[in-house]
Structure 1
C-alpha cells in the first residue's frame, strides 16, 4: 500500500477523534475581526428583542392588568369552592372567615356552584347552632318555618320579603334557638348583604349568626325579631302613639349613632327595616349600606326608598350620614299618621314618582300629625332640615327634649301590675282569648284619649309577665 493511501485512511479516524475539527478549519480561514463583528451584531439583536418584550408588557393597560388580576381571583375562588364540594364544609369561624367565604361565593362563576351536593358555609354562633360532622342540614339540623305575623294572620304560608329575599323563622333542633333566616338567590347575592352585620356589632343592629350556601340560595341566619316590623304593626294596628314613637326613635337613633361614628350610611331607614323585640328595636337589611372613605359619598346609583329619601340623595350629587337622619324623620311621620309622607297629598296613581316632589317641596312638614306635641314637632323640623349641614346628628337628637318628656307630660300607661289589681282592665279579659289580630280590639278605655288599635302597653312593662310578642305555636316545632 502506498503512503498516499495510508494518509487517506487516517483522515476519517482523525475526524472521529476530534469533533470540532470542522470549526477549527473554519476559524483558520476567517479573520478574527469578522468574528468579533458577528458576535457584536448577534448580541445587539438579542438586546433589541428583550427591549421589545419589555415594552410590550409595559404597554398593557391598567384595565387589562386589573382584569387579569380579577380572573386570577375568580380562578382562586373557583378552586377554593370546588375543593369544598362533597366534603360538607360547614364550620365555625371568625368574622374574617365568614367574610372570606361570602367573597368567594360572590366572585365565583355561577356554574361552579350549581352542583353542590352538600351545604357549605361559616357559622359565628357556637352556643346556639350545632354543627354535626361538618354539616348543618336544612330541615334536619335547623328547621325553617313560614313567619307568623305578630299582630294579624294574613293567611297560611305567609313569608315576608326583604330586598332580593324571603325571611323564614328558623330553629336549631338541638338547642331550640329561634332565629330569622333570610334566603337570597345566589344570582342576587352580594357580599355587602352581610358584611356590615358581621363586622359591626351593636345592641340595635340585628346580630348575624352565620351564612350557608345550599340549593342556589344563601341562608343568612340572624337575630329574630318576633315582635314583627314597625310597618307590620302600623298596617295592623294603625298609627302609633307618641310615647311608642319616642321609644322606637330612641332605639333607632342609638343604632344610627353607632353606624355614623364609623362613617356608615344605612341608606334605607323605614318602618319595614325596624324590627321590634321584647326589650329593644333593631335595624335590619344592610343591602344598600356603604362606608364612606371621605366626608361625602357620591353614589353611582339611587339608593333607598322613594318616600323616605332626602333631597340631597335624590339629586345623586353626593351626601353623607345625615341622609339617614332625614329618613328617620319621614319614618316618624309614617308612625304618627299610618302613611308615608307625601302619599296622602299626592296619591301614587296621580304621581307615579315622588322624586320630583321631594326635590321641589321637601321637607314634608305638612304631613306631620296634627296632634304632634310641640317638642316632637321641633325634633322633626331639625331632622328634616333641607340643608344637610344644618340638620341634627343622631347624637344631638338623642339629647332632644322630645325624647325625654317629663312624667306628667307622658300619657297614662297601664302597667300589668296595676292591671292585676283592677280586674276590670280590658287586657285581663283578653288573656284567655288571644287572637292573631288586634286591629279591632280596644286595648284601653274610650276616655283615655289614646288611639284605638295601637299597642298601648310598652313592651318593657310586658317583659316577663305576658307573652305578647309570640312566635308560631309550639306544635309546629315537632
Structure 2
C-alpha cells in the first residue's frame, strides 16, 4: 500500500474525528476532502472549512511513496479525465460568458423550492425548470483554479455525454460564474439507501430488479469508457415508477487510451482494493463496489458497520476482508457477490456479463413469484436460513441453484467472513 505522509497536527489540535474522507490526485500530487467528522465544536461547515484551510496552508507538500519507498512515476500518478481541451472550453465559457450550447441554462429561468441536502462545497435543491421538477446542485465559494471547480467541469462534461434509462438525466448547467449549478431530473423516490433504511432488507426479487437496472446503466457507462468510482446505494435514486437510476458523477472519469487510473477516490467501505492501494485500476473497480451494493440490498445494513472506514479499508487490502454472506442469500447471488469482490480485477465479471446473469435470475424469480408468491426477506440471524419464497420444496431456491452455473468461491479468500 502506498503511504501518503502529511505533517498534520495531532487530532486534538482541531478537535476532529475524521470518519469519512475521499482522496484525489491533483496537480500538487495530493489533496484531501473531508466529508464526515465527529467532535467539531465550531460554528458549522463554513467555519470548519476556514480552519482546515488555514491549517493546511501551514503544512509542507505531502510526500507520496510507493511500497518500495520511492516516489511514483508520472505515468502511474496520471489522473484520467475528460480531455483537457474540452475542459478549457468550459472554463472559458464560465469566465467570459460566451456560452451558446443548448445545455447552458439561463439562471433566471430556474425556480428554487426547498433545500434537499447540504454539503461542504454546495447545496442540493428541489426546483423547477420550464415546468419540469428538477434537482439543482449548486456550488458555493468555488474559485476558478480550485479542485472543486475542476470537479464541477468534469461532471458537466461527463453528464452531457450520457443518456440512458438507468442514469439520472442531465437537464443542463450554468457554467458562468457566480451561478455555478447542475440541473438534473428530480427523483421523487429518493435514494435506495434511504429506502432500505426504512424498509429493511429487500425481497430477493426486488434485489434482482435493482441489480438488473444498475448493471444496464453501468454497462452503458463502461462501454463509453466512463468509470463511476463511487457506486453505492446512496448514489442510486428512484423515480416515481420505482425505476433505479445511477446518480452523482462528481468523481466519475473518462478513461483515455491507456485505460488506467491511480487516484484513490470513492467511499472506503465500497472501494476496491486496487483503488485503496493507489495501484493502477480500470472499470472493474466499479464491479467490486457493485458486489458490496448487492450485500447492502440483501441486509439493509452498512458494510463493516462495526469498524471505522479506515479500519475497513485496511482489512480489505491486508486481510481479505469482505462482508459476511447472509445465510438466507440464494446461492447464485452469493456467487455473484464473491466474483465481484475478487482481489484480482481480471477475475471479476464485466457489467455486460452481470447484466445477462441478473436478467436470467430475475426471470426465474418472476416465474416462481407467479407460481407460489414471494415473502419479504426477514432480517438474517446467525445460524438461520430464513425462507425466501413460499410454495413447493422445489421452488425458487432449487431453481436458482440450478441456474447458478456452479459455485464460485473464488480466490479472494474471505468472502464469507471477517478476519479474527
TM-score range normalised by the length of the shorter chain: 0.5 to 0.7
Aligned equivalents of 1:282 and 1:209: distance in 2? 15
Aligned residue among 230, 235, 243 for 1:280: 243
Matched with 1:183 is: 138
Q: In the alignment, which residue of structure 2 is the partner of 1:298?
A: 261
Tell whether 2:123 aligns with 1:166. Answer: yes
Matched-pair contact (CA < 8 Å) for 2:268–2:310 = no
CA pair 371-163 structure 1, distance change in 2 beyond 3 A: farther
1:378 match? 335
Shift of 1:221: 0.9
Indicate the SS of the match to 2:364.
coil
Match of 1:405 among 364, 373, 388: 364
How far the C-alpha of 1:254 sits from its partner, in A, is 0.9
User: What's the secondary structure of 1:189's corresponding residue?
Assistant: helix
* Bigger Rg over Cα: 1
Structure-2 separation of matches of 1:325 and 1:282: 16
For the pair 1:347 / 2:307, whether they are aligned, the reply is yes
Question: Which residues of 2 match residues 16-415 of structure 1 at below 5 A?
Answer: 102-104=90-92, 108=95, 124=102, 135-137=106-108, 141-146=109-114, 159-161=116-118, 164-172=121-129, 175-185=130-140, 186-187=142-143, 188-190=148-150, 191-213=153-175, 216-277=178-239, 278=241, 280-299=243-262, 301-343=263-305, 346-348=306-308, 352-362=310-320, 364-366=322-324, 368-400=325-357, 401-410=360-369
Q: Sort the Cα spacing of 1:365 and 1:354 in 2 relative to 1 into closer, same or farther, 3 A.
A: closer
- Once the two structures are overlaid, the 10-residue window that deviates more, 215-224 or 273-282, is 215-224
In the TM superposition, residue 121 of structure 1 has moved relative to its aligned partner by 6.0
Alpha-carbon offset, residue 331 of structure 1: 1.0
- Post-superposition shift, 1:324? 0.3
1 or 2, which has the higher strand percentage? 2
CA displacement 1:245-276 (0-9 Å, x = unmatched): 11111111111111111222110101111111
Number of equivalent positions:
285
- Equivalent-residue separation in structure 2 for 1:103 and 1:411 (angstroms): 55
Deviations 1:85-122 (A, max 9, x none): xxxxxxxxxxxxx967632266x5xxxx9xxxxx9966
Q: CA deviation digits over 1:124-146, x for unaligned, max 9? A: 369xxxx8xxx541xxx332122
Residues 219-265 of structure 1: per-residue CA shift (max 9 Å, x gap): 21112211111111122222222211111111111111111112221
Q: CA deviation at 1:342?
A: 1.9
CA, structure 1 residues 293+123, in 2 after alignment: closer, same or farther (shift >3 Å)? closer
SS at match of 1:275: strand
Deviates more, 1:226-235 or 1:387-396: 226-235
CA distance in 1, matches of 2:370, 2:321: 28
Matched-pair contact (CA < 8 Å) for 2:203–2:376:
no
CA contact (8 A) 1:306 1:354 kept: yes
SS of the residue corresponding to residue 190 of structure 2 reads coil
Q: In 2, Cα distance between the equivalents of 1:120 and 1:233? A: 42
Give the structure with the higher percent helix.
1
- In 2, Cα distance between the equivalents of 1:412 and 1:144? 48
Note the residue ranges of structure 2 that are not aligned, 5 or more in a row. 1-85, 380-420
